[in-house]
Structure 1
């Protein structure tokens, strides 16, 4: 059975987070394991001598009290889930020891964004990762899969096939009336005189891909512009909650399209991000 490994990057948890986790849990018929990560460097400092001992003790007591409160909330909302306390600088080792290879990891961004431990895991990981913020979803988990089948290092388009398979699982195609695969057509400024020909080539390639995976054309949509601006404009205009990306041979931060695109998507306030959905379809297929 699938297990979702939920990492709280900060000791904050809200009803919105529980709602998102509940939706994911239902989508994948999954068990849930929580990791409360709050490495506090302040407690490691060697200058805690007698004059700071009382302050250190109070801080650690407050810290433990907050952990206890979060754990209690989790047990109230998810009584069957496990809770692990992770005080190491990086949480990846503990999660990897607990998780199966195919288990997806869900990172809940802190209000200040991704922590160094989050970035460390993402940049070294090629498995399925959800990156969710603490904002309320606008459309209860509405997703769009971003595809770009033009890469020399993925001539069989395995990455985009995985995005399509995930979207088929996330949305029931027979009931789907809106497009769930999106392709950005970017015309470089120096090639503007060939824009019609370039746009036609893009669409021809996408339609060929759709035919290969047996995806109806009505489930495809196109936007024009630079990837980061075009994707985020589409997301905002259509109230998209989750952007689904595939990875090829490298990880999320190794430039899916380019560094600015990834930075823009991760920092976006209202939408979450799913990177490398290669394993989820196979897990559900087994069951």
Structure 2
């Protein structure tokens, strides 16, 4: 059975977060394990420990009280789930020791964004990672899969096929009657005079890919613009809760859609993502 490994860095958990995890658990028929990542960077240096010795006890007591409150809240909503505390600077080692290769990791963004530990795991990710914020979803997990079968280093389009496979499992029959795959047509400024030819080329390639995977044209939508802006605008205009992206074997911060689309999307607090790695 699949297990969802939930990593929470903020010392709070919102009702929206709990609702999202419940939906993920039901959609994926999964068990749930929580990790409360609370590395205390304030006391990393020895001289800090010495100089702040007088107040460190009180700080530690407040910290442990918050942790206990979070554990209680999680256990109330997920009584069968396990809750671990992770005090290391990076949480990947502890999570990976409990997870199988196919288990999805769920990173809950802190209020200040992704932490260095989050980014460290994402850059080395080998499976599926959900990245969610602590705000409510519009439509209970409505998703769109971004496809872009134009990569020389993925001639078999394994990355896009993984996205399609995920979307077919995620979408309900009713949702599968609407467009759930999206391709961004980016026209470089210097090629604007050839925009009709470029758009035709994109659509021809996408429909060829759709034919190979036995996918109806009706479930594919197109949008124009720079990839990250176009994806965000489409998600906002269509009340999409998260964007599903395929990632090839190289680092997630390397080329994708002619540039750093994934890293650009990761910087947006409001954008929930699913990153699917292709071995």
Question: What's the TM-score once normalised by structure 2's chain length?
Answer: 0.95
- Contact 1:122 1:252 (8 Å CA) reproduced: yes
- Contact 2:113 2:269 (8 Å CA) reproduced: no
Deviating above 6 A after TM superposition, structure 1's stretches of 4 or more consecutive aligned residues are none
The change in CA–CA distance for 1:179 and 1:42 in structure 2 (over 3 A counts) is same
Instruction: Please identify, of 99-108 and 166-175, the stretch whose mean Cα deviation from structure 2 is larger.
Output: 166-175
The match for 1:148 is 148
The change in CA–CA distance for 1:170 and 1:239 in structure 2 (over 3 A counts) is same
Which runs of 5 or more structure 2 residues have no equivalent in the other structure? none
Cα distance in 1 for partners of 2:234, 2:268 equals 12
The match for 1:285 is none
1:258-283 CA distances to partner (integer Å, 9 max, x unpaired)? Answer: 5553243223344310001669xxxx
Which runs of 5 or more structure 1 residues have no equivalent in the other structure? 280-287
1:66-121 CA distances to partner (integer Å, 9 max, x unpaired)? Answer: 11111111111100000110000000000010101110000000011000100111
C-alpha displacement of 1:160: 0.3
Cα distance in 2 for partners of 1:9, 1:49 equals 22
Q: How many residues align?
A: 279
SS at match of 1:136: coil
C-alpha displacement of 1:255: 3.2
1:221-243 CA distances to partner (integer Å, 9 max, x unpaired)? Answer: 00111111111111110011010
Cα distance in 2 for partners of 1:163, 1:271 equals 17
The match for 2:252 is 252
- Contact 2:185 2:202 (8 Å CA) reproduced: yes
SS at match of 2:47: coil
The change in CA–CA distance for 1:265 and 1:32 in structure 2 (over 3 A counts) is same
The match for 2:18 is 18
SS at match of 1:47: helix
